[in-house]
Amino acid sequence: MSDKFIDFIITQKCTYKCAYCSQSKNQTKNKSSASDSVINAFLSFLNHISKDFEITITGGEAMLHPRFFELITKIKNLGFKINLITNFSFEIEKYKKTFDILNDSLNRFDISFHIDEILKKYKNPNDLFSKLSDFLNLKPDSTSVCFFIPLFDLTNEKEKYIDSILSFAHANNIDYEFQNIRFLNKYVNKKTGKYKVQNKSKNCYSNLCFSGCKSAVIYEDGNVYRCYSSRFTKSNYLGNIKSSDFKLNNVSLPCVFKSCMCPKPLLYNQVTDKKDRLKTIILQGINFIYLPYLFIKNLEIVKSKLKQYFN
């Protein structure tokens, strides 16, 4: 496995409307997608980084983007391995087309099961499992699949449905992972039922981390951040992909968060045990000025989300 990755959120549009959606960096369900200029800048950026970066194309629902198939074709032709994630709301033909284009370049294709929406779309679980079987039969042999199951507001009916998804996963040797809902860099434990969720947060405060150097998250507007946790802070903003002088950091920097909520940099061994207190203080100083500004700017959104979760 590579120790480098880039996540590119190409659209905030989605086929589902999950109540807990927090994909957008503004905690709002905006509907924007990467423009032609952002997509082109991204492709040109790929020309300047080494081919051992894994590229994850995500959303919202990434497959909704009108240039999705063209983009993955170009990334493959540039020689990169690609990871995808879907909420499994499309017809099987669309997945087949993805497999046909990417073949062995498709490293992972994960499926997120948002149970409220799944219950609406696949009232009869057999419809879901028949499509899942087709998906598994069509995928390239080298592509791995994992089921992600966010847990929120569970009822007996939802638990029963989740149990049937788990039985399918066991029968087909598919890995699965439960997820807690995150809100503003905190896990929200609300009615997670009988399932045990492993919160993968870790205190990495002031540890040197290679995110921003060996990994980055690019938003649909072209703004680039070191990691998902850092998307609300200024000191971890790397610039916009459209800038002609944009480049990733070339050194590791300290983490300024008491708990890292980004599983990938930990998984890819990007966080070192070394600490750098002085740089952490400087970076925190920058955020100290920026965060109150951001809080005031997003006050209405924050209030409505808090109401929704804790009422």
To ligand SF4, the closest distance from the beta carbon of 245 in angstroms equals 23
The three-state (H, E, C) secondary structure of the chain, written as one string: CCCEEEEEECECCCCCCCCCCCCCCCCCCCCCECCHHHHHHHHHHHCCCCCCEEEEEECCCHHHCCCHHHHHHHHHHCCCEEEEEECCCCCHHHHHHHHHHHHHHEEEEEEECCHHHHHHHCCCHHHHHHHHHHHHHHCCCCCECEEEEEECCCCHHHHHHHHHHHHHHHHCCCEEEEEEEEECCEEECCCCCCCCCCCCCECCECEEECECCCEEEECCCCEEECCCHHHHCCCCEEEECCCCCCCCCCCCEEECCCCECCHHHHHCCCEEEEECHHHHHHHHHHHHHHHHHHHHHCHHHHHHHHHHHHC
Question: Taking the complex as a whole, how short is the minimal distance between the CB of residue 77 and ligand SF4, in angstroms?
Answer: 28
Question: Based on CB atoms, which residue is closest to ligand SF4, 22 or 105?
Answer: 22
Of 21 and 78, the one with the shorter C-beta distance to ligand SF4 is: 21
Q: What's the min distance (Å) between Cβ of 225 and ligand SF4?
A: 9
Binding stretches for ligand SF4 (CB under 6 A): 14, 16-18, 21, 23, 59-61, 87, 114, 204, 209, 211, 226-227, 229-230, 255, 257, 260, 262, 265, 271
Nearer to ligand SF4, 98 or 105 (CB): 98
Q: State in angstroms the smallest separation of the CB of 133 from ligand SF4.
A: 22
Nearer to ligand SF4, 180 or 211 (CB): 211
Which one, 38 or 255, has the nearer CB to ligand SF4?
A: 255
Q: How far is the CB of 103 from ligand SF4 (least distance, A)?
A: 26
